[in-house]
Each structure stands twice: as C-alpha cells, then as structure tokens.
Amino acid sequence: MKKLKRIAVITIAMIMMLSLAIVISSAQTVSVSPSPTLAGYTITASNTILLSSGSALTSIAYQYGGATVSGTYSYINPTTLVTGSETKNNSGQAGASISFTAPANNRSVRLNTSHSANASSQTWSGSLNNVR
C-alpha cells in the first residue's frame, strides 16, 4: 500500500511539473533580428503574446530619438467562440510600449504590431505578427 501511495504522489508531482513547464513556455516573443540601426543608433522592436495578454515595444538607443508602436490584439472565448479585438497606439521620446489584456475567460489569438523610430531626420519602420 505504501508503495502504491508513493507512486501516486510521484505521478502527481510529475504532472504538476509538466503543467508548470507548459505555462512557462506559453509566452511567444517575436522581434526584429538582427537589431536594425538608424544613424548609428540601435533600434529594438518586439511583441510578446501570452495566454490572455500581449505587449509590444519600440525603442531607439538615442535619448532624442522618437519611437512609435501601434498594434491590434485579437482574442477568443474558447467556450462560446466569440471573438474580439482591441487597437492601441503610443509614441514617446526614445521608447514606446503598449499592452493588452483579454476579457475574463478569453484567450489570446494574435498580436499584429507596427513599429517606427526616427533620429537625425531618418526614419525606420517595420511590422511584426505574432499568432498564438
């Protein structure tokens, strides 16, 4: 009986560890690689989608540079199959970010983002598509 109980405890522990590994690995990030440069300054552009949220950022390693990010985040209710989406924009000096959260009981589907940066009268732009 003790041996059977021990096997059951080990099995449950393994299932819990596997579940945790799946949750941890559920983040998907896409980025522009290699990082582009503009007037000699490095640009970072990325977006990340999680189970029920997403975020995106654009930055330029120049304190007087400008950065813009805009994105559309789509989600679905897996029970009712009702879908929805939300769009956000942001800009700032040297960096900009946006974030999204799906309504309760909904899951992420897609995050499409557009990124741009400017410095010294030059402009860089790009887009990323992340599907869960």
Evaluate if residue 16 carries a pLDDT over 60.
no
Selection from 110, 12, 9 nearest residue 54 by Cα: 110
Confidence of residue 121 (pLDDT cuts 50, 70, 90): very high
Average pLDDT across the chain, whole number = 87
Evaluate if residue 68 carries a pLDDT over 90.
yes
The CATH number of the structural domain formed by 34-131 is: 2.60.40
Higher-confidence position of 76 and 27 = 76
According to the model, what pLDDT value does residue 28 have? Answer: 83
Confidence of residue 6 (pLDDT cuts 50, 70, 90): low
Cis preceding linkage at 34, omega within 30: yes
According to the model, what pLDDT value does residue 21 have? Answer: 45
Evaluate if residue 65 carries a pLDDT over 80.
yes
pTM of the model: 0.78
In this prediction, residues 3-30 reach a mean pLDDT of: 60
According to the model, what pLDDT value does residue 22 have? Answer: 46
According to the model, what pLDDT value does residue 23 have? Answer: 46
Rounded distance, CA 51 to CA 104, Å?
Answer: 12
